[in-house]
């Protein structure tokens, strides 16, 4: 049975819809791959549409991860989402010839593969510094896939669109991420705090808190062990903060130097104090890597690190600006330092409003 396809005009209209969708939707997540997979499967007439993530390329090995499969039936059990495929770039199996060729050429490869094996594969290119990119593929199970020139061009256009969207998303992410800790950078976390403060003013829910945190005796760590050790501590603190950040609920960022800012919008003060106390304990009990003179971790040795925290509610009678609110959190942080460090303090002015 020949491959069922739509006209070039219809395919062109679908590409127009894809362009509009990619330009109007959020750049986060992988939803921007849904429409291209549907076009491969439903419009171009392939039995299976496949999206591979190029997990790695090491010497002669190409490692692909299956991250999306579009099919009316489960027709390629070898392509389970999440499964990984290791291919020899110089001598790939016949059913994966197009995947390897598309990767090597950074373009579309459309060699007919009878039976199992994708008959068209396009490269969604990304610079290596941003990741290795993706492959968009289609498999027709008949003897002759009968791929038209306009379908090859359509695949090329889709891959170029997706490449541009992915690179834009990555560059936007890099612009807001602190390269050392992996958390929001100072500009991004300050903007997030201002937005959270304004939202709470409008909602008037009484929920939410902001937390200022500071690494205790960080200057001594730098002075005694060097800046490589200091950077290592900052990296591990960033990792711990991220592990205690509830996705889509909380926000954490590096406020500056060894100071961090956390924002909890939909939690009451008691809940925030509980979360931050667990974070404080986790940091105090964490074996931070001790860096030797060579710049490498010393096996079996660790460095004790603690942090102090100041908490302020996002909403408080008489507070009219985010600067005032931050001053309350800063005063609470200072109180934690004065009381011996390695503790969490709720700002006195806010506590009196209970």
Q: Which residues carry out catalysis?
A: 258
Q: Residues of 68-96 as b/e, b for ≥16 C-beta within 10 angstroms?
A: bbbbeeeebeebeeeeebebeeeebeeeb
Q: How far apart are the first and last CA of the chain?
A: 74
The C-alpha R_g of the chain, in whole angstroms, comes to: 26
Residues 6+ away with beta carbon under 8 Å from 134: 33, 51, 52, 53, 54, 67, 123, 124, 126, 162, 166
- 40 within 8 A of 136, measured Cβ to Cβ: yes
- How far is residue 319's CA from residue 313's CA, in Å, rounded to a whole number? 10
| Strand, helix or coil for residue 210 | strand
β partners of residue 308? 214
Tokens of 188: 């991004």
- 279 within 8 A of 240, measured Cβ to Cβ: yes
DSSP, res 318: T
Burial label for 299, CB within 10 Å (0-12, 13-18, 19+), is exposed
- The pairing of strands 344-346 and 307-313 is parallel
């Amino acid at each position: 049975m020949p491959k069922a396809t739509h006209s070039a005009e219809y395919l062109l209209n679908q590409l127009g819809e894809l362009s509009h969708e990619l330009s109007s939707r959020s750049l986060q997540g992988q939803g921007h791959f849904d429409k291209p997979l549907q076009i491969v499967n439903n419009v171009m007439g392939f039995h299976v549409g496949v999206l591979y993530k190029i997990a790695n390329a090491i010497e002669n090995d190409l490692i692909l991860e299956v991250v999306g499969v579009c099919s009316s039936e489960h027709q390629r059990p070898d392509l389970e989402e999440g499964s990984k495929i290791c291919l020899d770039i110089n001598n790939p199996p016949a059913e994966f010839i197009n995947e390897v060729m598309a990767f090597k050429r950074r373009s579309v490869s459309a060699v007919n593969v009878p039976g199992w094996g994708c008959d068209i594969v396009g490269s969604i290119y990304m610079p290596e510094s941003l990741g290795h990119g993706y492959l968009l593929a289609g498999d027709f199970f008949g003897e002759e896939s009968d791929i038209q020139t306009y379908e090859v061009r359509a695949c090329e256009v889709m891959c170029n669109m997706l490449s541009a969207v992915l690179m834009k998303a990555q560059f936007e992410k890099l612009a807001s991420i602190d390269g050392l800790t992996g958390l929001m950078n100072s500009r991004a976390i300050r903007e997030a705090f201002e937005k959270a403060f304004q939202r709470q003013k409008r909602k008037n829910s009484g929920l939410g808190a902001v937390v200022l945190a500071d690494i205790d005796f960080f200057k001594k760590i730098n002075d005694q062990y060097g800046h490589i050790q200091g950077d290592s501590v900052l990296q591990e603190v960033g990792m711990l903060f991220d592990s205690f950040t509830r996705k889509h609920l909380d926000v954490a960022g590096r406020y500056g130097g060894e100071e961090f800012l956390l924002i909890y919008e939909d939690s009451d003060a008691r809940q925030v104090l509980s979360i931050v106390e667990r974070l404080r304990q986790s940091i105090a009990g964490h074996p931070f890597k001790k860096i030797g003179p060579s710049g490498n971790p010393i096996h079996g040795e660790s460095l004790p690190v603690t942090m102090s925290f100041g908490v302020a509610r996002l909403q408080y009678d008489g507070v009219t600006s985010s600067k005032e609110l931050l001053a309350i959190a800063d005063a609470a942080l200072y109180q934690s330092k004065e009381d011996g460090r390695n503790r969490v303090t709720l700002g006195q002015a806010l506590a009196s409003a209970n």
